[in-house]
Amino acid sequence: MSDPPRRPILKLKFPPAAPPRPEPTPVESAGDRWKCKPCGGVVVITGQEPADQEVRCPACNARLGLAGDFQTADGGGKVRARRLPALRPGA
């Protein structure tokens, strides 16, 4: 029914190596941490930014708002991010 192949099929002696795992990037602890609503990336606001500077997500480059809106006491400015809880020491 089926003819045998004219040449033997070559096989790899060793399986291919697994791709290297990416190392997690350390999260900066200086400043408030916010979570980008469009993609979920972490944005760190240090408080050193001018109030009229745009804040963009480093992961997806979405415009999240102005730095002055992030620096208000309640964080209630018009921003496209959620404040993350502070990191626990040793966590």
Is residue 16 assigned to a domain? no
> Would the pLDDT of 26 be above 70?
no
Neighbour-count burial of 38, counting CB atoms closer than 10 A to its CB (0-12 exposed, 13-18 middle, 19+ buried): middle
pLDDT, mean of residues 14-30: 68
Instruction: Indicate the pairing of strand 63-66 with strand 54-56.
Output: antiparallel
At residue 36, the 3 state secondary structure works out as: strand
Neighbour-count burial of 83, counting CB atoms closer than 10 A to its CB (0-12 exposed, 13-18 middle, 19+ buried): middle
Looking at the 3D structure of the chain, how many domains does it have?
A: 1
> 31-85 pLDDT, tens per residue?
788 999 999 999 888 888 898 999 999 999 999 999 888 877 565 668 888 888 8
d(CA 81, CA 83): 7
> Would the pLDDT of 28 be above 60?
no
Q: What is the structure's pLDDT at 1?
A: 59
Confidence (pTM):
0.59
d(CA 13, CA 72): 62
Is residue 65 assigned to a domain? yes
Domain that holds residue 64: 32-83
